Structure 1
């Protein structure tokens, strides 16, 4: 009865908010546009996994190991030598997510308005390139073409369509004689929205650069990189991790923003623990790399539990998404879930997305402090299945069991919110059918 009562309260509180936000035309376009990028995200992520086999060669003696680990060592050697070739599909999909999203969101919003969707998408993409990737000496910078430029891609996708829509509403078009072919008239009139978008959006970028000395995307990154230097404790660490996850909720790659701080901290402290081990002492620095791994177990927001819940969902969409996302999630890649659910701009799933890492990071910290698990003293390879990372971090099987417990905890935290969201999705699917 208590569980049902909780579901009813959550449903009564969150469902109206979710429905209202879900029906808002701009947020609906963001959701649809991000869904269109899902195949790119999934396939690109698979190649990143291939390029990062789950083994640390520094821990293995190739002369005495078994045939399976020898295979992994050969795979690792091949991946290191051919890394750029293997990751090219990732670079051209996930690495271009901002550019792709600029097109898909504008396309989706224009479709909602019954405008020329393809042309709107092209205008948005062109303006995005002008602002985020201006050519210099024949080279196009890629820093903001991926997830770093996603927030700006969302803004440009929406604003560019609204500018085009305003021009169409005001009737800014050339009236040509009927003898002129319609295709020629359409071509001439399509130039006005593009010109207006360039003048307004790219012009704004020029003004910002002249006044502040940085472009709009550079300025946004600087604003989103707070001066949080004191994170070498559980409270500062939780604060910056939560800040990163809040950024994800508005479409900004929060992990990439906080990564330089938390990963550098983790690497440094893990190295200090390794020195203690080498000196015959017990490792006692708890803010190590293992703590960072706990923040992204299943990806930002610890969404592996959500993936597992989706596998059993009655919703066709959520079940398919769960199948697509579980294997990447095991390796810490969860863009399919974040943009496919979506969690971005989703008030229902945003709550457990914020809460779960706070709980799991706190659990990991105190589990190290009280000796329930081994303290991290080894730099494990990235994009490795979470249970392998858990073992390699301290060569302690208790860590593997503990990481599985964390996944179970995430399932319990996500469950009530997932059920409310699933109910809304089922209603939409029923209405469509």
Structure 2
């Protein structure tokens, strides 16, 4: 066996150990459980953001915009609520306990650490969407895992109210969950109190401030852009919305770069910046979304397993518009060791190629219009720099596919085997 084969075997064995880990499985399955609502949100986000003036005017004048904006608001914008329940539920079921009660307690705990504000009247309490969406995802996963595991531990130690025989199972489970719920809420309130006493104010703000401080030291140079690209994928791998963290910090710098290029273009002057941040990100780096996952989705469309083939068909249209929540959570990409390498490298490679192509004049610098989310690949490239930019995008899509395909093939093979085993078990059960 050569060195490459030995290395490949070790990596596969390590990936297998991680995938069999109950905590990793909890996150993966908990995220995947919310795929239905994520897909609804992604599709309606696309419907809502198609950048055609006549179409947008139609939505506004017919008041359809008010309706089509509701699905994203109650899915993607409060994604952490679904995730904390799903992770808490899955954590408990991993240990053969009642997942529904664990999920509810996890949801309660997440809301307990999330700040509530007052409206302008000074009396009406309101729960802001600020930490309910992808920005609260990391905290949601931590709480889901912690609460789910603590719930199991309390029940295993016998600290719960036992009901007499003959009581309906639903009532029995509810009373059994009361003791864990009271213990957990006291612990969660203690956590909230600790963070309230700090300058951060809450645990969500703490997480984001700690992540944002290193990013603030970066500027708008090419090396800073590459570092940001790595950070985005790395954060996403651990369940943190990397693009929101990084772009939220870099937005002032990147917006300024875009506007300077756009002003120069309108004045007929040479464009001052080769890599205008947000335009460059949406045009080249985020092909298909964070991680340049468009190639992965294309591979899924031709998958052997039913699971990934179906996901690929559902995700291809949103991914073509750089919306990849269905892929991130449906695969899932979070804590998925088999896709870690391409998820990290694909955006770096496509970004590097785009930078070199721009620097040597193969494609023009982007004019910085900042095409909004939902503008399809190729179209946003054409708007940003003409046919040569769109052509480079097409090449980068192929490169993304080449980078993801060998890793996805291994993942797909495992999924296909599992499906065959399940079908065989079902066939035997029928016989």
Distance 2:11 2:307 in 1: 20
Q: CA deviation at 1:385?
A: 0.3
Match of 2:176 in 1: 189
Pairing partner for 2:211 from 208, 221, 224: 224
Q: CA deviation at 1:226?
A: 2.7
Match of 1:65 in 2: none
Matches of residues 31-430 of structure 1 in structure 2 within 5 Å? 31-55=28-52, 73-79=53-59, 82=63, 83-134=65-116, 136=118, 137-174=124-161, 186-228=173-215, 229-288=217-276, 289-293=278-282, 294-379=284-369, 380-394=371-385, 396-430=386-420
> Which 5+ residue runs of structure 1 have no aligned equivalent?
56-72
Match of 1:17 in 2: 14
Which deviates the most, 94-103 or 160-169?
160-169
Distance 2:169 2:416 in 1: 44
Distance 1:95 1:125 in 2: 16
Deviations 1:66-85 (A, max 9, x none): xxxxxxx3212234565443
Which deviates the most, 25-34 or 208-217?
208-217
Q: Does the 8 Å CA contact 1:15/1:420 hold for their aligned counterparts? A: no
Q: CA deviation at 1:14?
A: 2.6
Which deviates the most, 129-138 or 39-48?
129-138
Q: CA deviation at 1:274?
A: 2.4
Q: 1:422 to 1:14 in 2, by over 3 A?
A: farther
Q: CA deviation at 1:187?
A: 4.1
* TM-score normalised by L of structure 2: 0.89
Deviations 1:113-168 (A, max 9, x none): 11111111111111111112536432111111111111111111111112111211
Q: Does the 8 Å CA contact 1:10/1:420 hold for their aligned counterparts? A: no
Match of 2:426 in 1: none
Distance 1:322 1:182 in 2: 40
Q: Does the 8 Å CA contact 1:44/1:94 hold for their aligned counterparts? A: yes
Deviations 1:244-298 (A, max 9, x none): 1100001111110011244443332222122223333221411214321122110
Task: Report the count of equivalent residues.
Answer: 412
Distance 1:318 1:222 in 2: 36
Distance 2:166 2:242 in 1: 55
What SS class does the counterpart of residue 226 from structure 1 fall into?
Answer: helix
Distance 2:3 2:296 in 1: 19
Q: 1:249 to 1:284 in 2, by over 3 A?
A: same
Q: Does the 8 Å CA contact 2:105/2:147 hold for their aligned counterparts? A: yes
Q: 1:428 to 1:388 in 2, by over 3 A?
A: same
Deviations 1:4-60 (A, max 9, x none): x999567513321221111111211211111111111111111111111233xxxxx
Which deviates the most, 234-243 or 196-205?
196-205
Distance 1:358 1:178 in 2: 61
Which deviates the most, 186-195 or 236-245?
186-195
Match of 2:428 in 1: none
Q: Does the 8 Å CA contact 1:54/1:388 hold for their aligned counterparts? A: no
Distance 2:94 2:214 in 1: 41
What SS class does the counterpart of residue 74 from structure 1 fall into?
Answer: helix
Distance 1:23 1:227 in 2: 34
Match of 1:432 in 2: 422
Q: Does the 8 Å CA contact 1:266/1:292 hold for their aligned counterparts? A: no
Distance 2:325 2:335 in 1: 14
Distance 2:399 2:167 in 1: 67
Q: 1:184 to 1:369 in 2, by over 3 A?
A: closer
